[in-house]
Amino acid sequence: MTSHLSPAAPSSVTAFRDKFTLSPQFMALFNEGMDLVEQTANYLDGPGRLHAKHLKGNMAIAYATETMRLTTRLMQLASWLLLRRAVNRGEMTEDQAASDKNRVVLVPIGRSTRSPMFSDLPEALQSLIETSLKLHDRIMRLDRTMTTDEAEAITPHVNAQFDRLKLAFNP
């Protein structure tokens, strides 16, 4: 099992984390996450509100449960993305971001797609839930890589790929 970073963290973990948070890929991920938050808010405040009014009994409970899970999941993701962006911009240090006060702990929040009532939810809500789950999984893997020695195994492979690309484009 991997261990969390100590003050004397392996340099490849730090290098990966620093390179990623300064990369265009991070900004694309940041924008993707924030766009999903906005899409979800627009849905829940507009068409979602109308859909919810027409639901009865167990479907109304399922809808309320799934929207609560969705918004909680998105709050976690937005907090993580905003924290990483703050470090990227120099608004806080890596140590401050990793402190107990600021650290965003990503936890799985239900897999509603396995629920028997999921397919009866409005399609727009289903789509938002599925998209949020995929994004949550990606960010959880990324967070694990950025905070544990899993990067030790990944970094040499990534560096080898970069070296091959450099050779291919700079003969």
| pLDDT less than 50: residues of the chain | 1-10, 150-151, 153
Residues 29-42 pLDDT 10s = 999 999 999 999 99
Assigned token pair, 90: 């120099």
Residues 118-151 pLDDT 10s = 889 999 999 999 999 999 999 999 888 877 654 4
Name residues whose C-beta falls within 8 Å of residue 92's C-beta, 6 or more positions apart in sequence.
83, 86, 102
Assigned token pair, 47: 């068409």
pLDDT for the residue numbered 3: 42
Give the CATH fold of the 11-169 domain: Helicase, Ruva Protein; domain 3 (1.10.8)
Domain residues of the chain, as ranges? 11-169
